[in-house]
Structure 1
Amino acid sequence: MQTFLSNSLPLLERLARAHGLELATPVQLRASARLPTELYDRACAELAARAREPSFGLRAGELWHPSDFGALGYAWFAATTLRTALLRLVRFSRLLGDRGTLALEDTRADGAWLDYAHRRGDPALDRVGSEIILSVVLSLCRRNCGEAIAPSRVLFASAEPPARAPYDEFFGCRVEFDAGRNAMLLPEAIVDAELPTANREIASTLDELLTRQLADLDQSDFVARSKTVLLESLADGMPEAGEIARRLNVSERTLQRRLAQRQTSFHELVDETRRELATAYLEDTANSVTEVAFRVGFATPSAFSRAFMRWTGHSPSDWRRSAHD
């Protein structure tokens, strides 16, 4: 199962609101550090189907925040040049998401090409995802080097839209469509200019953090994937470890071993997932305590109340009242 950084979800929600839309994001998934890529794709597909502006993805360039990219967003501003910032973005891009890939091709004479391969196999998703990525990266560059900078060329694999003016206006050059790739060429003078926000000490510290996060990604992703499968299964009752292992395409023994490597167990993961899900559901007063009990896999409300008391020291009803007060 491929995942993406959950920090990126608010950017999609801001993008939706900018176009008068709301995304129906499952509340139970908000507590996870990483989310299934399919959730991101569904959100993009929903926006593509409902947004009136074909170029709506470009608005992401106005709406991003460094926290949308975790530590990588802050490391960007500590880079000495745009070239080092772009290389860092490429190196650690897998932290943002597993499916799409970034590459930097250095031509020296002309500057540097930043390529983005969306890898969805869906033209609509490819267009939206590529617009979001290239517009955000260019906005990051402009935040460092000034709003007037523009790439020499911008290419999109998607077909030319009915109105191309928003693309040319945003990127500051004539955008090429049906180009077979999603990429932009940044002039050498821009790429190698010293950045006013450069801080080698902070950059080094963040690089160490990002390197550790990348090394931990495979194992932590396994925990996130296990939790996602649990979230999908709890409404049907208490899931068995063997069933969760089967859905993850591993043996039950491998499931237990890999969870133990992350200092947890299947029982602890079920408990944690139930607690997170229960508190999220209880915040919505439209859900009765009995309904919440069944939705998080308890056979009776009394069993749920005992577990909730163990988790929080309060009954579900008292916790809900105190949370709203």
Structure 2
Amino acid sequence: MHTLSTVGGGFVAGLFETAQRLGVERSALLRAAGLAQDTPQEGQARWPVGDVVALFEAAQRLTGRRDIGLEFAAQVRPGTFQVLGYALMTCRTLGEALALVPHYRRLVFDIGYSEMRMSEQGAHAVLEWHVLQPQLSYSPVLAEALIASWFAFGRWMAGVPLPLRQVTFQHAAAGAGEAFSQFFGCPVAFGQHTNALVFERSLLAMPLVQADETLHLAMREQARAAMEKAFGSTDVAQQVRAALIPLMPKCEATLAHVARALGVPARSLQRRLAEANTSFGQILDAVRKDLAKVYLRDASLSMLDVALLLGYAEQSSFTRAFRQWLGQSPLQWRREKVLQSLRK
């Protein structure tokens, strides 16, 4: 159980990638933020909020980019928000996705530090972000990164531009105002009472490109499992499912690595799974099958990318497994889903 407010590792990984793209290596960013080089410890998937604030502010200083929050947001994809991102992208509409966020947002930003508030005001909808912990200083760059991330990911899920009425920030402007207006495509006001996106309420009915009811249910189950692993669960099968997701891209989807992540002996974990009438192999196969269908819907991922994300050392191994699951190759399955989306 976490006693401190924390941030999911996928969100922080996105910052490291952004900084590296701008010429700042992970080690340099950690030093500038005053953090240890091995932070977080191996196997730790979450970062204290205070450390994340320090990393964003250090990245802004080292890169000299006042608009680094926008640069970060421009690259967000489902993995930035961990399994919650995949649950959101398979919703039917933008409104449905926004309604889902409060249930699982803790996977990205733990409760206690901040909260998201959604309201409807006449013909407009307002999505706000509020900092709740006064002992953690308000960070303008983090506020900008979050607000911009919501907008960028919503646009990515919809597959079309999402016109905004206005964007507001609590902090004062400090240059780069034109970059913000260009990014959001609307007036951006600083020094306001809230951090918010304001848009037409009709956009809530916007259909999402990757909508899939069956897959959505699977991803919600994955999100629930991840919540239980991060914040407490007695369901050993769900604990294993949640532990496997970050281990697979590192080719560490083994019983030994999962047991280490859960802090139990491998034999004990194996015994508990048997008592639950399942096995490590069955769970791994089910997780790979579910996530394969999610990853294949992301056109930016090659077949090799998908294979590696699922923990396969070779693409051919993934292809064989996929044929056993669904009776066709991953490429055939992807093409069929693309055609189905075009017919909608």
What TM-score, normalized by structure 1, do the two folds share?
A: 0.62
- Alpha-carbon deviation of 1:88? 1.4
Pairwise mapping of residues 114-193 of structure 1 onto structure 2 (< 5 A)? 114-119=127-132, 121=134, 126-193=139-206
The one-letter code sitting in structure 2 at the alignment partner of 1:89 is V
Aligned residue number for residue 195 of structure 1:
208
Distance 1:28 1:57, change over 3 A: closer
- Alpha-carbon deviation of 1:12? 0.7
Provide the secondary structure at the position in 2 that maps to 1:97: coil
Distance 1:130 1:264, change over 3 A: same
Distance 1:123 1:47 in 2: 18
Aligned residue number for residue 254 of structure 1:
none
Aligned residue number for residue 38 of structure 2:
27
Distance 2:135 2:65 in 1: 19
Aligned residue number for residue 112 of structure 1:
125
Distance 2:72 2:160 in 1: 15
Aligned residue number for residue 3 of structure 1:
6
Deviation digits for residues 242-273 of structure 1, max 9, x if unmatched? xxxxxxxxxxxxxxxxxxxx7749xx9xxxxx
Distance 2:183 2:198 in 1: 15
Distance 1:28 1:57 in 2: 22
Distance 1:28 1:78 in 2: 33
Instruction: Judge conservation of contact 1:153–1:184 (CA < 8 Å) in 2.
Output: yes
Alignment of 1:100 onto 2:114: yes
Deviation digits for residues 31-85 of structure 1, max 9, x if unmatched? 3122222321221121233232212211112222311211111111101110111
- Alpha-carbon deviation of 1:166? 0.5
The one-letter code sitting in structure 2 at the alignment partner of 1:105 is S
Extract structure 1 runs of 4+ deviating beyond 3 A: 118-125, 262-265
Aligned residue number for residue 248 of structure 1:
none
- Alpha-carbon deviation of 1:154? 0.7
The one-letter code sitting in structure 1 at the alignment partner of 2:49 is T
Instruction: Judge conservation of contact 1:113–1:186 (CA < 8 Å) in 2.
Output: yes
Identity between Structure 1 and Structure 2 (%): 20
Instruction: Judge conservation of contact 2:158–2:207 (CA < 8 Å) in 1.
Output: no
Alignment of 1:39 onto 2:51: yes
Provide the secondary structure at the position in 1 that maps to 2:146: helix
Instruction: Judge conservation of contact 1:45–1:124 (CA < 8 Å) in 2.
Output: no
- Alpha-carbon deviation of 1:149? 1.9
Distance 2:171 2:13 in 1: 25
Instruction: Judge conservation of contact 2:78–2:89 (CA < 8 Å) in 1.
Output: no
Distance 1:122 1:170 in 2: 31
Pairwise CA RMSD: 2.6
- Alpha-carbon deviation of 1:125? 5.2
In structure 1, list runs of 5 or more residues that go unmatched.
221-261, 269-325
Distance 1:92 1:8 in 2: 14
Distance 1:69 1:59 in 2: 16
Instruction: Judge conservation of contact 1:44–1:125 (CA < 8 Å) in 2.
Output: no
The one-letter code sitting in structure 2 at the alignment partner of 1:111 is H
Compare 76-85 and 12-21 and name the one that shifted more: 12-21
Alignment of 1:51 onto 2:54: no
- From 16, 20, 26, the counterpart of 1:17: 20
- Alpha-carbon deviation of 1:189? 2.3
Aligned residue number for residue 327 of structure 2:
none
In structure 2, list runs of 5 or more residues that go unmatched.
31-36, 234-261, 269-344
Alignment of 1:205 onto 2:218: yes
Distance 1:42 1:23, change over 3 A: farther
What TM-score, normalized by structure 2, do the two folds share?
A: 0.59
- Alpha-carbon deviation of 1:124? 8.0
Instruction: Determine which structure has more spread, i.e. the larger CA radius of gyration.
Output: 1
Pairwise mapping of residues 265-276 of structure 1 onto structure 2 (< 5 A)? none
Distance 1:103 1:217, change over 3 A: farther
